[in-house]
Chains A and B, each alone.
Chain A
């Protein structure tokens, strides 16, 4: 939704600027009273300071600290730089790193290939105004209200090997959270359970906004239900699709709470975010090493952010 106003603003502003060009702008500046100028300055400065202080400085500090072996103790001027050693350690002698990267990608793939289409499917069903759709809507959206950490706890009651519901009902002996071949899938089911509801709601909102005459026209032209959806409705939903894409990528990158609640991101549930936390948080922390991991995660995120921004900007230009 965020890119829609941008497009409109783009289209709305230039034409008058082209006719009255510089003269108009100068007059408008003069129209601003002293109070206005103070207010505008503050409105720019305060958020700028906040963003710099709480986003950019820590990000830069993280990158800088990733070149040190600081343990969080002692004055800043005694920090010793070790060059790229942390990075070579991460890649060469830190066993959880490779699984973590794989799991992050797996997470992205699972959300993208399974959970997101399924949420879309549910949204299309609910959009048909079937009987009791309000009930289904609420039931499916409920998990989204819960925090992922709480979801981990809820599913723990189902998954526990000795005392969990699943093994009790089916008489099975599967170690859902402990067996490293199984637990990543078990956790992703729990994560997908929440993600589906989120995506469903986004699409539902989008579908409600589709002009009914489009569907009527498609129906009159003799398009089948699925053809009308994929050829007419889906392209119209483009802004929603982009949001869903971004939400899915963000969700998979920041996946953390769930695995942290289950077993602190160990034994088959390694994720970069969990490794960062394991190393940085706590007594006598490995701030430098953890920062190196965080920097790697930052770089990975930047890839996706760049792709997204490039797409949005190209669209604006068109």
Chain B
């Protein structure tokens, strides 16, 4: 499940799927188990129409950037590519959620030459299934990427399959004015963090804003605790199904979380992240662990009042240098019609020119290429870019680092169960482990 990238997308999500006709059809088809059987879904059909033959002067791009703002930015980037290379890009835009729900059928049908996607297991999964092309040669021409970004673009076989474009880090956000008023200091250890939370409670604030109605926001809390307690490699192995959920290491994550839960905003399972962010905006809450997109709930003149710190250290041996920073970018289909142009397009997407266009036109994201002209960043964006730049490892988020079926059918209910009843950690972890064994079979 993806996070809404903008207010418009969030609003679009509120429209029930049965109202948006196309989605309903795909839902019904899926429910009957036919969507997959028919092989070529709706998307594949669209791709066929948009990909105009095999002429050497064009290339097709399947895009999930369906909201006005990102769609406009992407149009500007592809215009830039046309100007520099003379190749026409046929952009085939599909509603964000529909794109994700149909990605299986889309990639097995007749996909566009290049398509938008996410880094992490979600990328490696399709690479491993042979549904995406190796683009290591494109990577050899790219510059301006840290090792962390390259690692995030690499498949299980050590080859690159993904070109990063934009990303947003997760951190603990707060309002400077509130902290100044009460004289709070940024905590650097878990004890300081807990003490700060207790102080906030005494000052009449909700220490940590919290929401998990949509199922994914609480994954961020699990991730950061796991990264701080057990480190990045354990996170990767756990998500890949190689570590047991019943291990003491996982139990310690839940234990620590159970200790912090009293500091969290109560009744989180009926609240959306927007509502939680508004409690931060209205100065009712002291902190909120979320992605950079939390700023969307603040008006323009409040943006300067928003600040953040990375989640404090729990184990000195592990430190506090790893974090969640999901990356969005591009991949190439398994058999593109215009392979040369597709590689050219990917090279352009990964280059400085595309990053500059992104940066200038979309203030809600950070660009992955460090060669970009970051003069246009707000203070918050600059700080976020520095945070990620100094990170030793970048995780992609629980639902991007593991099998999507495991994340949505097992982890979301499990974490919600934990929030409801934080006492039964043994029962919870063994239930997760049983289901994991059944899902991670191949």
Contacts and interface: CB of A to CB of B under 8 A. Distances in A.
Contacts of B431: 93, 95
B306 interface: no
B413 A266 contact: yes
Given A73-B129, A162-B279, A179-B267, A266 B405 contact: no
Interface of B is mostly: helix
Interface in B30-73: 30-37
B215 A266 contact: yes
A276 B34 CA distance: 13
Contacts, number: 155
Contacts of B32: 58-59, 62, 294
Given A71-B405, A285-B36, A285-B405, A257 B271 contact: no
A13 interface: no
B33 A178 contact: no
Contacts of B17: 149, 260
Contacts of A290: 33
Given A71-B405, A281-B30, A291-B33, A180 B14 contact: no
A104 interface: no
B413 A61 contact: no
B377 interface: no
Contacts of A73: 104, 108, 129, 131
Nearest to B106: A283
Interface in A120-156: 147-150, 152-153
A203 interface: no
Contacts of A69: 441-442
Given A94-B435, A273-B31, A285-B104, A278 B408 contact: yes
Given A93-B438, A161-B270, A266-B413, A285 B30 contact: yes
A267 B15 CA distance: 21
A176 B269 CA distance: 10
A279 B405 CA distance: 7
Nearest to B282: A162
Question: How many of chain B's residues touch chain A, expressed as a range?
Answer: 35 or more
B33 A160 contact: no
A190 B31 CA distance: 24
Contacts of B26: 281
Contact of A178 (B125, B213, B403): B213
Nearest to B414: A95
A264 B18 contact: no
Nearest to B266: A175
B408 A282 contact: yes
Nearest to A70: B36
B19 A160 contact: no
B270 A150 contact: no
Contact of A283 (B14, B34, B100, B267): B100
Given A58-B32, A178-B269, A257-B16, A284 B125 contact: yes
Given A58-B37, A162-B279, A277-B31, A177 B441 contact: no
B404 A284 contact: yes
Given A58-B34, A147-B18, A286-B405, A281 B101 contact: yes
8 closest A-B pairs by beta carbon, nearest first, are: A178-B270, A149-B16, A178-B269, A175-B267, A281-B30, A93-B434, A175-B270, A72-B36
24 contacts: A58-B33, A61-B34, A62-B33, A71-B405, A92-B434, A95-B413, A149-B18, A161-B270, A163-B275, A177-B213, A257-B16, A261-B16, A266-B215, A277-B30, A281-B30, A282-B100, A283-B104, A283-B404, A284-B404, A285-B104, A286-B405, A286-B409, A289-B409, A294-B33
